[in-house]
Amino acid sequence: MPNALYRVELETGHRIVAHVAPAARLRFLRVIPGDRVRVEVSKLDPGRGRIVRKAE
Protein backbone atom coordinates (compact mmCIF):
# COMPACT_ATOMS: atom_id res chain seq x y z
CA MET A 1 0.00 0.00 0.00
CA PRO A 2 1.22 3.55 -0.59
CA ASN A 3 2.61 6.05 1.91
CA ALA A 4 3.87 3.52 4.47
CA LEU A 5 0.38 2.13 5.05
CA TYR A 6 -0.12 -1.52 5.97
CA ARG A 7 -3.16 -3.75 5.75
CA VAL A 8 -3.41 -5.49 9.12
CA GLU A 9 -5.62 -8.45 9.96
CA LEU A 10 -6.79 -8.49 13.58
CA GLU A 11 -7.25 -11.63 15.67
CA THR A 12 -11.01 -11.18 15.27
CA GLY A 13 -10.63 -11.47 11.49
CA HIS A 14 -11.31 -7.80 10.72
CA ARG A 15 -8.90 -6.02 8.38
CA ILE A 16 -7.83 -2.42 8.93
CA VAL A 17 -5.37 0.00 7.35
CA ALA A 18 -2.60 1.08 9.73
CA HIS A 19 0.53 3.23 9.71
CA VAL A 20 3.59 3.06 11.97
CA ALA A 21 3.25 5.45 14.92
CA PRO A 22 5.80 8.30 14.99
CA ALA A 23 7.26 7.11 18.32
CA ALA A 24 7.78 3.62 16.88
CA ARG A 25 9.34 5.13 13.76
CA LEU A 26 11.95 6.83 15.97
CA ARG A 27 12.92 3.37 17.30
CA PHE A 28 13.44 2.26 13.66
CA LEU A 29 10.62 -0.26 13.76
CA ARG A 30 10.73 -2.39 10.60
CA VAL A 31 7.55 -4.20 9.64
CA ILE A 32 7.56 -6.95 7.03
CA PRO A 33 4.65 -9.13 5.87
CA GLY A 34 3.87 -11.84 8.41
CA ASP A 35 5.02 -9.87 11.48
CA ARG A 36 2.68 -9.83 14.46
CA VAL A 37 2.20 -6.26 15.64
CA ARG A 38 0.32 -4.37 18.35
CA VAL A 39 -2.20 -1.93 16.87
CA GLU A 40 -4.18 0.96 18.36
CA VAL A 41 -7.50 1.25 16.53
CA SER A 42 -8.91 4.74 15.97
CA LYS A 43 -12.08 5.57 17.91
CA LEU A 44 -13.34 7.83 15.13
CA ASP A 45 -12.71 5.39 12.26
CA PRO A 46 -12.59 1.70 13.29
CA GLY A 47 -11.14 0.82 9.88
CA ARG A 48 -7.89 2.70 10.59
CA GLY A 49 -5.20 2.41 13.23
CA ARG A 50 -1.54 2.77 14.04
CA ILE A 51 1.15 0.20 14.67
CA VAL A 52 2.67 0.78 18.10
CA ARG A 53 5.18 -2.10 18.31
CA LYS A 54 5.91 -5.64 17.30
CA ALA A 55 4.10 -8.27 19.36
CA GLU A 56 6.16 -10.70 21.40
Per residue in 22-40, pLDDT (tens digit) is 888 878 888 888 899 999 9
Count of the separate structural domains present in the chain: 1
DSSP string, 1-56: --TTEEEEE-TTS-EEEEEE-HHHHHTT----TT--EEEEEPSS-TTEEEEEEE--
- Domain of residue 36 covers 5-54
Answer yes or no: is pLDDT of 46 > 70.
yes
- What's the whole-number average pLDDT of the chain? 89
- The letter for the amino acid at 27 is R
CATH number for the domain including 46?
A: 2.40.50.140
